[in-house]
Chain A
Amino acid sequence: MAASSERSPPPFPDSEEPELLEDSDEGADAFTGTSISEMDSPSPDSTKPPKDIFNEPLEDIFSDPLSNVNSEPQKKVDTKIPSPSSDEAVDLFSDPLDDDSEVVSSPEVQNPMPDLLNEPVQAPKSDVLGEPPVHKNAARQQDIFEDPPKGSSKSSSVKKAASAELFSDEDEEDLFKELPKVVTKKPQPSGPPVDVFTEVKSDVKVKPQVKDDPTDLFAEEALTAPAPKPSASSSSSRTNGVHSEEHDLFSEATVELSLDSPRNDRKKKDAVKPSVSAPVAPVASSSSKAPSKTLEELEEEESEDTFDLNISVTNPEKVGDGMNAYMAYKVSTQTSLTMFRSKTFTVRRRFSDFLGLYEKLSEKHLQNGYIVPPPPEKSILGMTKVKVGKEDPSSAEFVERRRAALERYLQRVVSHPSLLQDPDVREFLEKEELPRAVSTQALSGAGFLKMLNKATDAVSKMTIKMNEQDVWFDEKIQDVENEEQHMRKLHVMVESLVNHRKELSGNTAVFAKSVAMLGSSEDNTALSRALSQLAEVEDRIEQLHQEQAANDFFTFSELLADYIRLLGAVKGCFDQRMKAWQRWQDAENMLQKKREVEAKLLWANKPDKLQQAKDEIAEWEAKVTQYEREFERISATVRKEVIRFDKEKARDFKRQIIKYLESLLNSQQQLIKYWEAFLPEAKAIA
């Protein structure tokens, strides 16, 4: 949480200071503005929550609040809760009766998801469910700026941070206690909202059990509005009550709060104790960052992170004999990052350690929608050759190929800002001895289980028919699919180039020998000499072809192989998102069923069982909320990851293509040299 204070700088850049003195009313306008735009474009609102919310509010809302903060603490709070409260508020106000009645009294609203997503009227619901991260962020920012008058926001936030890190319930309460203040500002101008909210409240009171969890959400923003103090406490107490049930929900929320820290650490190259927060880091940075950043900002951030971390994998060495033999590699790291204990360090790792690292990382991060770079595949055939210990060129090539692939793999892992923070990554780079990774063995029981899991995953993937609402994802998934196909084809072509070039190299060598023989048979001295010179030239050209074939392979073909694997990882992220969606839909369906049960019970007038049904509905409502949140979060993360991936890919390809063309250039230049040296020999034939 220490970071949370530092996290704020990006959204509140210094350059925005001039706006400090702007009217607070403008802030309010900004909200109505954003919300109107959201109302105008209902479908994007529902289908692309991250974009709308984060593009517009970010600038308007976040920049203005700052000014508010300094001038008037109260107001700042108000504006701070940007997107949720603004959307919520405006939506509610614009159509108070409709909204409220739907939100509170009619249960159907929550069932048919597609409707919710499509209809602007229901925006409040989806907004609330969809933006929790933002909401929390905002809330957290409140924390930070809570006592600005007392001193600099920074110092105060640092103090806060400590407590926030614990993520106690109080924190939650804090959060919600402040919300009331926030909202009060807005409702005041208009009369109806008050009614709305009171209505809500009364509704809630009527059916407190049923509404429990969802109201919790609404209560946080809406309920408290009219009567700040009392309702605030009521809402907070409610949240407390709910809390036990919804433990997951809030614990995740807290995770988000802590999430930021590692990221900022990295940026600032501060040594924090990421070990505490690192495991959850991905969730944090994704959910809180992605939403709050515009694309341009992401771009800036990308260019910023030219971090100083060089990893090389060298000295492949066979350890042991026979079938138990394995290859060990020297993994050397050179860095000025203070998160590491020293500037240079070297460890020895075997192939299964690399696989183990991947297993650990994907276990932790894949479910959050992170693109975890995949390591090179196991090759039983290649490794067996090495084990048998024949010093033939193909096994040497295999070892070199793998060494290079492992190096690229590690470089990709550490260039991922969040993965770099993972303690397992640091352990892998720094720690002398690693526990043996057992589950990576191709024929182990764990390996079998993994295969089984993959198979069931594949089946479930086929059975899930996701009705994609997000145009961006819809297109991107197709793009990635196409790109993978193209890359595969391209890879086949390049492989064929590698083979043909090797063939050419071999045939050139054979021809060189043959020409040398012809030269030795030639009875014209000058021609004989020229022919043996030609043989030498062809010999050098053979060498050139061989080197170029290696370049074809290592610079071009392996790049494609890497990206085919990486695109697979991207698809894995899409699958994770789809799974999250499925879970949410399942929960919706379950909730629907529970409601039907309740309706039946009501009709049958069985009050004894009614209570249980209501409890269950409450439980499932909470789950729906939670899963939807998770889905939104993973969507945001995947989206951000894919954007990052695309950028990285473009950069990577450009670099490699230039490198490859330079290798071609070099061989052509050599060629010129060789032939120019031969020309006088040919002319000397007489």
Chain B
Amino acid sequence: MTSISEDIDLNNDASLVIDIPDALCERDKVKFTVHTKTTLSSFQKPEYSVQRQHEDFIWLHDTIVETEEYAGLIIPPAPPKPDFEGPREKMHKLGEGESSMTKEEYAKMKQELEKTVQVHEVFLQRLSSHPMFRKDRNFQIFLEYDQDLTVRRKNAKEMFGGFFKNMVKSADEVLISGVKEVDEFFEQEKNFLLDYSSKIKDATAKAEKMTRSHKNVADDYNHISGALNNTAADNNTAFKKHLEKCAEVFEKLRKVEDRMASDQELKLTELLRYYTRDIQAAKDLLYRRARALADYENSNKALDKARLKGKDVAQAEENQKQCLQKFDKLSESGKKELTSFKARRVVAFRKNLIEMTELEIKHAKNSVSLLQGSIEILKSN
């Protein structure tokens, strides 16, 4: 389950190693055990193990986003809220034990949980591997504090505020795309990211649909196997053997097909999902830079006005200077971030595509030998 963390080549620095070895489903929430090993002097102990909830991750993400200092960085996307396909009650069941749910349901839940753990882990690892974020105060608190963080849940107003902010942002985005870009690099990046973002979003949705229907096929195999077994149970003729054999084949095929579907999901869909979010983070960076550019332009205008009126010129000059500085700083770090982002993306795609292809081949080969064997057995008797 570490596919993404591996391909992003996180945790390559032994001075700060983070993982989530365990997650607990308690009532309606998931508690992640965040395990940290470090040699950094800023930490008081070399090893920590704390319990964090999804909301704590969101809090960490939000505080980082709000930190002015990080405006020029691609902020690692927040992990999505755990979604267990079914209603909340199912999570209860998972917490309370396997007895109340079928083995199959449990396996599915477990798979989902592992995926959730993975994305939360990747978020922390992205932070820890970044030279700036790893020094973040809040991040350190998140890793160190051995009590419940009891971060305040967002209240309805704030939720609405966040929603409103997003609306403004996307309206601004339209605005930005209209802003005349002076830097060719950012002009290109902007066009690329806007286009790529919509494409990858679409591809993610389509891949999700595809893997879902693939799972349906696997489920059908399972049902057919069951129905064949039932038919065989009531049969006493030579027919019985065929039915049983056939049921067995379908049962095995289901496993292979299921693996095929979930590996596709893991290697392809999950990759696309992650980069959909990551690209959004990159777009956010562009947005912040565009905002800074607009501020700088406004400060220019203000300075012109001040000069015209001969009033508050020094203050306007100072303001203009600051805006330019901020903009230049953003542009500089943004360029670096976007370049490394591109390299990271290509590496991740390469790795995942190779892995997926190898798994597809492996599964198909399993099916082939399974089918060949079964056909032979059927033919011989």
A residues with a Cβ closer than 8 A to B are 479, 482-483, 486-487, 489-490, 493-494, 496-497, 500-501, 503-504, 507-508, 510-511, 513-515, 517-518, 521-524, 526-527, 530-531, 534, 646-647, 649-650, 653-654, 657-658, 661-662, 664-665, 668-669, 671-672, 675-676, 678-679, 682-683, 685-686
In the complex formed, the residue of A with least CB distance to B342 is: A524
A657 to B378 alpha-carbon distance, docked (Å): 9
A653 touches B353 (CB 8 A): no
Q: Closest Cβ of chain A: how far from B248's Cβ, in Å?
A: 12
A675 touches B203 (CB 8 A): no
Complex partner residue of B202 from A517, A646, A665, CB under 8 angstroms: A517
Complex partner residue of B217 from A501, A650, A672, CB under 8 angstroms: A501
B residues with a Cβ closer than 8 A to A are 192, 195-196, 199-200, 202-203, 205-207, 209-210, 212-214, 216-217, 219-221, 223-224, 227-228, 230-231, 234-239, 242-243, 246, 249, 253, 342, 345-346, 349-350, 353-354, 357-358, 360-361, 364-365, 367-368, 371-372, 374-375, 378-379
B230 touches A486 (CB 8 A): yes
B239 touches A650 (CB 8 A): yes
A523 touches B192 (CB 8 A): yes
The B interface, classified by DSSP as helix, strand, loop or mixed, is helix
A521 touches B196 (CB 8 A): yes
In the complex formed, the residue of B with least CB distance to A549 is: B217
**In the complex, chain B residues whose CB is within 8 Å of the CB of A497:** 217, 220-221, 224
The 9 closest A-B pairs by CB, nearest first: A497-B220, A486-B231, A685-B350, A490-B227, A504-B213, A682-B353, A511-B206, A665-B371, A500-B216
A661 touches B354 (CB 8 A): no
From known contacts A518-B203, A654-B378, infer whether A493 and B223 are also in contact, taking CB-CB under 8 Å.
yes
**In the complex, chain B residues whose CB is within 8 Å of the CB of A513:** 206
**In the complex, chain A residues whose CB is within 8 Å of the CB of B243:** 653
A513 to B243 alpha-carbon distance, docked (Å): 40
A517 to B207 alpha-carbon distance, docked (Å): 13
**In the complex, chain A residues whose CB is within 8 Å of the CB of B378:** 654, 657-658, 661
Q: Can you list 14 A-B contacts with CB-CB less than 8 angstroms, sorted by A residue number?
A: A483-B231, A487-B231, A489-B230, A494-B220, A514-B205, A518-B202, A521-B196, A524-B342, A530-B350, A534-B353, A646-B237, A662-B375, A676-B361, A678-B357
In the complex formed, the residue of A with least CB distance to B194 is: A521
Complex partner residue of A661 from B228, B249, B349, B350, CB under 8 angstroms: B249
**In the complex, chain B residues whose CB is within 8 Å of the CB of A664:** 253, 367, 371
**In the complex, chain A residues whose CB is within 8 Å of the CB of B214:** 504
**In the complex, chain B residues whose CB is within 8 Å of the CB of A653:** 239, 242-243
A661 to B346 alpha-carbon distance, docked (Å): 39
A531 to B272 alpha-carbon distance, docked (Å): 12
Q: Closest Cβ of chain B: how far from A190's Cβ, in Å?
A: 44
A514 to B196 alpha-carbon distance, docked (Å): 11
Complex partner residue of A675 from B195, B230, B360, B379, CB under 8 angstroms: B360
In the complex formed, the residue of A with least CB distance to B253 is: A664
**In the complex, chain A residues whose CB is within 8 Å of the CB of B195:** 521
Q: Closest Cβ of chain A: how far from B367's Cβ, in Å?
A: 4
A683 to B351 alpha-carbon distance, docked (Å): 8
**In the complex, chain A residues whose CB is within 8 Å of the CB of B238:** 647, 650
A664 to B249 alpha-carbon distance, docked (Å): 11
B375 touches A658 (CB 8 A): yes
A503 touches B216 (CB 8 A): yes
In the complex formed, the residue of B with least CB distance to A556 is: B224
Apart from A511-B207, A527-B346, list 10 A-B contacts with CB within 8 A: A483-B235, A514-B205, A515-B203, A524-B342, A527-B350, A531-B349, A665-B368, A671-B364, A675-B361, A683-B354
In the complex formed, the residue of B with least CB distance to A685 is: B350
**In the complex, chain A residues whose CB is within 8 Å of the CB of B196:** 518, 521-522
Q: Closest Cβ of chain A: how far from B32's Cβ, in Å?
A: 32
Q: Closest Cβ of chain A: how far from B351's Cβ, in Å?
A: 9
In the complex formed, the residue of A with least CB distance to B360 is: A675
A685 touches B349 (CB 8 A): yes
In the complex formed, the residue of B with least CB distance to A678 is: B357
Q: Closest Cβ of chain B: how far from A430's Cβ, in Å?
A: 35
**In the complex, chain A residues whose CB is within 8 Å of the CB of B217:** 497, 500-501, 504
**In the complex, chain B residues whose CB is within 8 Å of the CB of A515:** 203, 206
In the complex formed, the residue of B with least CB distance to A519 is: B199
A479 touches B210 (CB 8 A): no
A661 touches B374 (CB 8 A): yes
**In the complex, chain B residues whose CB is within 8 Å of the CB of A523:** 192, 342
Q: Closest Cβ of chain A: how far from B254's Cβ, in Å?
A: 11
In the complex formed, the residue of B with least CB distance to A649 is: B239
**In the complex, chain A residues whose CB is within 8 Å of the CB of B371:** 661-662, 664-665, 668
A511 touches B367 (CB 8 A): no
Q: Closest Cβ of chain A: how far from B352's Cβ, in Å?
A: 9
In the complex formed, the residue of A with least CB distance to B366 is: A668
In the complex formed, the residue of B with least CB distance to A657 is: B246
A517 touches B199 (CB 8 A): yes
B361 touches A672 (CB 8 A): yes
B234 touches A486 (CB 8 A): yes
**In the complex, chain B residues whose CB is within 8 Å of the CB of A527:** 346, 349-350
A479 to B233 alpha-carbon distance, docked (Å): 11
**In the complex, chain B residues whose CB is within 8 Å of the CB of A514:** 199, 202-203, 205-207
Q: Closest Cβ of chain A: how far from B225's Cβ, in Å?
A: 9
A501 to B221 alpha-carbon distance, docked (Å): 11
A497 to B254 alpha-carbon distance, docked (Å): 12
**In the complex, chain B residues whose CB is within 8 Å of the CB of A534:** 353
A686 to B221 alpha-carbon distance, docked (Å): 39
Complex partner residue of A496 from B202, B220, B237, CB under 8 angstroms: B220
A668 touches B216 (CB 8 A): no
B206 touches A510 (CB 8 A): yes
Q: Closest Cβ of chain B: how far from A294's Cβ, in Å?
A: 18
In the complex formed, the residue of A with least CB distance to B359 is: A675
A685 touches B364 (CB 8 A): no
A513 to B360 alpha-carbon distance, docked (Å): 20
From known contacts A518-B203, A524-B342, infer whether A493 and B357 are also in contact, taking CB-CB under 8 Å.
no
From known contacts A650-B242, A665-B371, infer whether A686 and B213 are also in contact, taking CB-CB under 8 Å.
no
A654 touches B230 (CB 8 A): no
Q: Closest Cβ of chain A: how far from B104's Cβ, in Å?
A: 16
A665 to B376 alpha-carbon distance, docked (Å): 12
B199 touches A518 (CB 8 A): yes
B220 touches A490 (CB 8 A): no
Q: Closest Cβ of chain A: how far from B232's Cβ, in Å?
A: 9
**In the complex, chain B residues whose CB is within 8 Å of the CB of A676:** 361
**In the complex, chain A residues whose CB is within 8 Å of the CB of B365:** 672
A679 to B350 alpha-carbon distance, docked (Å): 10
Q: Closest Cβ of chain A: how far from B8's Cβ, in Å?
A: 15
**In the complex, chain B residues whose CB is within 8 Å of the CB of A654:** 242, 378
A489 to B206 alpha-carbon distance, docked (Å): 31
Q: Closest Cβ of chain A: how far from B187's Cβ, in Å?
A: 13
**In the complex, chain B residues whose CB is within 8 Å of the CB of A646:** 237, 239
From known contacts A646-B239, A654-B242, A679-B357, infer whether A518 and B220 are also in contact, taking CB-CB under 8 Å.
no
**In the complex, chain A residues whose CB is within 8 Å of the CB of B379:** 658
A489 to B202 alpha-carbon distance, docked (Å): 37
**In the complex, chain A residues whose CB is within 8 Å of the CB of B231:** 483, 486-487, 490
A503 to B220 alpha-carbon distance, docked (Å): 13
A527 to B348 alpha-carbon distance, docked (Å): 11
A517 to B236 alpha-carbon distance, docked (Å): 56
B361 touches A668 (CB 8 A): no
A530 touches B353 (CB 8 A): yes
B220 touches A493 (CB 8 A): yes
Q: Closest Cβ of chain A: how far from B378's Cβ, in Å?
A: 5
A658 to B346 alpha-carbon distance, docked (Å): 44
B358 touches A679 (CB 8 A): yes
**In the complex, chain A residues whose CB is within 8 Å of the CB of B357:** 675, 678-679, 682
**In the complex, chain A residues whose CB is within 8 Å of the CB of B372:** 665
B199 touches A521 (CB 8 A): yes
Complex partner residue of A511 from B209, B253, B345, B368, CB under 8 angstroms: B209
A672 touches B364 (CB 8 A): yes
A504 to B342 alpha-carbon distance, docked (Å): 32
A496 to B219 alpha-carbon distance, docked (Å): 10
A668 touches B368 (CB 8 A): yes
